[in-house]
Chain A
Amino acid sequence: SAVISQKPSRDICQRGTSLTIQCQVDSQVTMMFWYRQQPGQSLTLIATANQGSEATYESGFVIDKFPISRPNLTFSTLTVSNMSPEDSSIYLCSVERGVGYGETQYFGPGTRLLVL
């Protein structure tokens, strides 16, 4: 498994501002992902955080709105830019160790964001 921490655990922000969320893993991992869970909804993948190159974004998510950094194999950040109330969600990072078949993703505790 993996021990994953996220900072902050929750925040209340004003519209138009930006928030950077940090994800730290206890050991090196190949793959890191960022998900969003809007109120009452299931999880949706935002992007794959690639170490040493730009993140790969899913349809409907763009780099200007959700810039991602991955400076090394244990750390990533997701920024939610120019926030609006529609960005109020839980943001989760997950990691995967790509060894063997059918490997597993493990999730962090999430960052609960409320935009006023």
Chain B
Amino acid sequence: DAKTTQPPSMDCAEGRAANLPCNHSTISGNEYVYWYRQIHSQGPQYIIHGLKNNETNEMASLIITEDRKSSTLILPHATLRDTAVYYCIVRVGYYGGSQGNLIFGKGTKLSVKP
């Protein structure tokens, strides 16, 4: 079973920030938080990942709480093309070796509305 809990759906107005929450209260010290999204039956697209520090890239920001039991993915200016299912996944990280498979939950269906 997935180790994360996400709301099943969210709406966001175009141009506004989309804040997608994820609970991972049983996360271990060596587990990373990954975010992927899947746009209408395409292959999942990697967005961002982090261990304990906040991370930012060209797509999004990832805010991880100090106790690491929850995180928030932030899309700063959502567009209609950001409408997708967003998956929050925790996975162990190893140096130089296999990181293991990703266990996908049901994710959050984000609908960006004009």
The smallest C-beta distance from A13 to any residue of chain B, in angstroms, reads 18
Contact of B101 among A48, A99, A108, A109 (CB under 8 A): A48
B41:A110 contact, CB within 8 angstroms: yes
Chain B stretch 11-49: residues in CB contact (< 8 A) with chain A: 32, 34, 41-46, 49
Provide the bound-state CA to CA distance between A4 and B42, in Å.
13
Contact of B49 among A4, A33, A43, A102 (CB under 8 A): A102
Indicate with 1 or 0, residue by residue over A46-88, a CB within 8 angstroms of chain B CB atoms: 0010000000001000000000000000000000000000000
Q: How many A-B residue pairs have CB under 8 A?
A: 68
Q: How many residues of A contact B (CB 8 A)?
A: 30
A42-B106, A101-B95 given; 12 more Cβ-contact pairs under 8 Å: A33-B101, A42-B87, A42-B107, A92-B44, A98-B98, A101-B32, A101-B51, A101-B94, A102-B32, A102-B91, A104-B46, A107-B44
Interface CB pairs A-B, < 8 A, 19: A30-B98, A31-B99, A42-B87, A45-B101, A45-B102, A94-B43, A94-B102, A96-B99, A98-B94, A100-B96, A101-B93, A101-B95, A102-B91, A102-B99, A104-B46, A107-B45, A109-B42, A109-B43, A110-B41
A-side residues, CB < 8 A to B, are: 1, 4, 30-31, 33, 37, 42-45, 48, 58, 90, 92, 94, 96, 98-110, 112
